[in-house]
Structure 1
Amino acid sequence: RLDKEIGLRNQQSLERQRKAEIDAASIEESRISREGKIVRAQQRAVVGKSGVGLAGATLSVLADAAAQFSMERNLALRRGLIRGQELRERGRIEAAKGIFAFARGKEIKRFSFIKAGGSILGAAGKSGFFD
């Protein structure tokens, strides 16, 4: 019974950790997004100050920076989701191990009763109790 409870508590703990991982990934995604906005604003300010138009190579640099930050945001979210799925799976395994240990304990208890009964009957038979 204790193993079952431990398994379920481990599962609950891993579920809380999973939620924290997803929240952390969301926060990281927001941070990257904010950083990307700052970099893009700085780039636009530099372009505006220089008097050069937003064409050609300058536009390519801005587009590349935007794409890079977009990929980093998506990667941060994906990492959080993958880690969350791993933790959920580990939680399910922990719960299953606890349930299995509980069932195994019940089975061992049942067999010990059968074995004890067999020992009692065997001893009674040897003593001539049934004669």
Structure 2
Amino acid sequence: MPSAVAFIVRIAVVAVSLWVATLIVPGIDNTAGTTGARIGTLIVVALIFGLINAVLKPLIKTIGCAFYVLTLGLVGLVVNALLFMLVGWLAGGIGLPFAVNGFWAAFLGAIVVSVVSFLLHVLIPDSIDER
């Protein structure tokens, strides 16, 4: 069972990755007014993102296993984009000022979040991250 520190580090990594996505991907916006509100929004969206990826992604991979094999995993990019759109929709639904506008923004945002998360996890020692 991961420790509280590892959980916090993972949420922080996703929040930073989401922040980078808001900076470089047109159509992904965090419109909170203050810096503190923006950080809070990113943390809550990171929690939503983690919950969706923990619950839905394995289910979708299991059900759509044949599509992953047939497309050599490329359908995973589409699945990640759709899950990212779901995160944006849920965030907007609970009143967070975080928006994902369209499939292509979600597609690019999912790639950015994945790459930045990977790079950050490479930099973080395994003893802290517990991966």
Name the structure where helix makes up a greater proportion of residues: 1
TM-score by length of 1: 0.26
* Bigger Rg, structure 1 or 2: 1
Using CA pairs below 8 Å that are at least 6 residues apart, which structure has the higher relative contact order?
A: 1
